[in-house]
Amino acid sequence: MQYPTVDYKKVPLFAKVSQSDWNDWRWQLSHVIKDIPTLERVISLDASEKNDLKRCLAKFRMAITPYYAALMDARDRQCPVRLQAVPSIEELRNDPDDLDDPLHEDVDSPVPGLTHRYPDRVLLLVTNICSMNCRHCTRRRMVGFEDTPLSKACLDKAVKYISGNKAVRDVLISGGDPLTLSDDHLESILQRLRAIKHVEIIRIGTRVPVVMPMRVTEKLAAMLRKYHPLYINTHFNHSKEMTAEARLACARLADAGIPLGNQSVLLRGVNDSQSTMKKLVHNLLMARVKPYYIYQCDLSKGISHFRTSVSKGIEIVESLRGHTTGMAVPTYVVDAPGGGGKIPVMPSYMISQSDKKIVLRNYEGGITSYSLPQVVSRPSNSDTEYASHEGIAALLNGDKRTLEPADLKRRKRGH
Ligand SMILES: *Cc1c(COP(=O)(O)O)cnc(C)c1O
Ligand code: SF4
C-alpha cells in the first residue's frame, strides 16, 4: 500500500515555501486560506463559483490549512477533500428541520465549556479554535466565530465541577480542536484533570492528524504519554486524507502508547458509498487507528446538503460486518437531537425467537438457530458498584418496572 506525500510544490501558491516552513504547524496556522483570491491560486474557480463563494463568505467563514488545501483536486469540484473545505452555496439553504444546537450541548451544560450528558463522562470544550473550518461541522454555531480558548475562569469552574462529581470517570477533551493549543497550555489542562483521583481515563478528540498532521511532533507525543491512560479519537472521512504525513502523525501517537480511534461523519458526495468506506476503514487499521463511530450527519444549520438517509449508513455497516475484519467495523450512530446521546443503528440480524431458540441470519444470508439455555443457573457474582441504575438498564435489573414520559396526559387526569 502506497501512502503519497502531499506534493505541495505543484500548487503555485506554495511553490516557493521551504520544507521547514511547510512542516511547521505554526506556519500552517498563520497561512490558513480565508479569502477567494488566495483560494484561486490553489483551485480553479469560474465566475459563478466565485460569486457563490462570495455570498457564502458573507455568512460563514472559510479557513483551510495550506496542507489540506494542497490535498484538494484543483479541477474536480467533487473532490472529497475539496467538498469538506470549500464552502458551497447550499450552505445558505435553510432546511426547516435545521437547529442551532441540535445536540443540546449548550442546554446540558452545567458550567460553560462542559457538557454532562451521560452519567459517568463529560465533554470538555477547551477551545473553539480549529486549524480549519470543516464545512460539515456540527459545532458551526461556535467554531470560528470568536477565536478563543476557554478562559481560565471557566476552566477553573469546569475542573471544580469534575472534581466535585465522583461519578465522572472519563473526560473527553474536545473543542474546536484541542491540539491547536500550545503544548504547555494543553499540558496544564491534562495535569489538572490527572490530579482528580476519580478521573480514570482522558480522551482527546482532534482533527489535527487529518488537516494539519505536522502539529503532531515528537515533543507533543512525549508530553501526551505522561498522562496515560489517554485515548485519542480523530476524524478521517476519506482515504484520500490518509497521506504519508497523516500516517506519520498517527504513528507518533500510537508509538506513544495512545490507542487511536476514528469518528467519521457520513457525508453525501464524500463517503456515502460502500467501497469508499471499506477503503477508508482498511487504511485506518493500517495506520493503527480503530474505526470507532460513523455518525449520521446531524441537524446543524447549513449542512443539509451533506445529509444522507439513515438507510445509507445501515447499508454501509451491512457491507462491512462479516465481509472484513471485525475491528474495521465502526458503530453507526445517530446522535439524537435534543441531547439524547448516540444511538446505534444497524442491520437486523435477529430474525425470530421463541422461549427455546433464537433465529439469526449472518452476513452471507445464511440462517441459523441458537438454542437458549433451559436451566436457569445462578448468575455470576456481580460487582454492585458497577451496576447501571438508569434508563432501560434499570428496567432489566428490577430497579424500576416502567419508564414513561414526564408529561403523560393520563397521569394528569387525577386518579
Ligand atoms: C459523544 C459524547 C460523549 C462520549 O460518548 P462515547 O460513546 O462514550 O464515546 C460524551 N459526552 C457527550 C456530550 C458526547 O457528545
Ligand atoms: S476540526 Fe472538528 S470542530 Fe473543527 S471545524 Fe472541523 S469538524 Fe468542526
Select from 61, 134, 212, 298 the residue to mutate for testing ligand 2; criterion: most ligand atoms less than 8 Å from CB: 134
The closest alpha carbon to 302, from 73, 138, 85, 109, belongs to 138
Calculate mean pLDDT across residues 12-27. 97
Structure-block grid coordinates of residue 219? 515533543
Q: Is 400 exposed, middle or buried (0-12, 13-18, 19+ CB in 10 A)?
A: middle
Ligand 2 center–CA 123 separation, angstroms: 15
Calculate the average pLDDT of the chain: 93
Domain boundaries, the chain: 8-85, 114-344, 350-412
pTM: 0.94
pLDDT digits (tens, 9 = 90+) for 349-381: 999 999 999 999 999 999 999 999 988 777 777
Q: Has 118 been annotated as catalytic?
A: yes
Which ligand is the nearest neighbour of the Cα of 114? 1
Among protein residues, the one whose CA lies closest to atom 8 of ligand 1: 121
Query: Exactly one of 24, 73, 118, 225 is catalytic; which is it?
Result: 118
Distance 265 CA to ligand 1 centre (A): 15
Q: Is 154 a catalytic residue?
A: no
Cβ of 307 less than 6 Å from ligand 2: no
Question: Which grid coordinates are listed for 405?
Answer: 414520559
From the list 201, 196, 197, the residue with the least C-alpha distance to 227 is 201
pLDDT in tens, 240-293: 999 999 999 999 999 999 999 999 999 999 999 999 999 999 999 999 999 999
Please say whether the beta carbons of 70 and 14 come within 8 A.
yes
User: In angstroms, rounded to a whole number, what is the distance separating the alpha carbons of residues 315 and 323?
Assistant: 13
For domain 114-344, the question of CATH label 3.30.390.50 is answered with no
Measure the CA–CA gap between 287 and 235, rounded to whole angstroms: 13
Please say whether the beta carbons of 72 and 116 come within 8 A: no
Q: Cβ(105) to ligand 2 under 6 A?
A: no
- Give me the pLDDT at residue 145, please: 53
Choose among 190, 192, 200: nearest CA to 157: 192
DSSP state letters, 19-36: HHHHT-HHHHHHT-B-SH
Q: Starting at the earlier edge strand, list the strands of the sheet with 350-353.
A: 350-353, 357-361, 367-371
Q: Residue 74: count other Cβ atoms within 10 Å of its Cβ.
A: 14
For the question of residue 140 being annotated catalytic, the response is: no
Residue 89's CB: how many other CB atoms inside 10 A?
14
Cis preceding linkage at 229, omega within 30: yes
So what's the pLDDT on residue 1? 54
**What is the position in ligand 1's atom list of the atom closest to the CA of 103?**
15
* Residue of minimum CA distance from atom 6 in ligand 1: 342
Give CA–CA dist 67/69, Å, rounded: 5
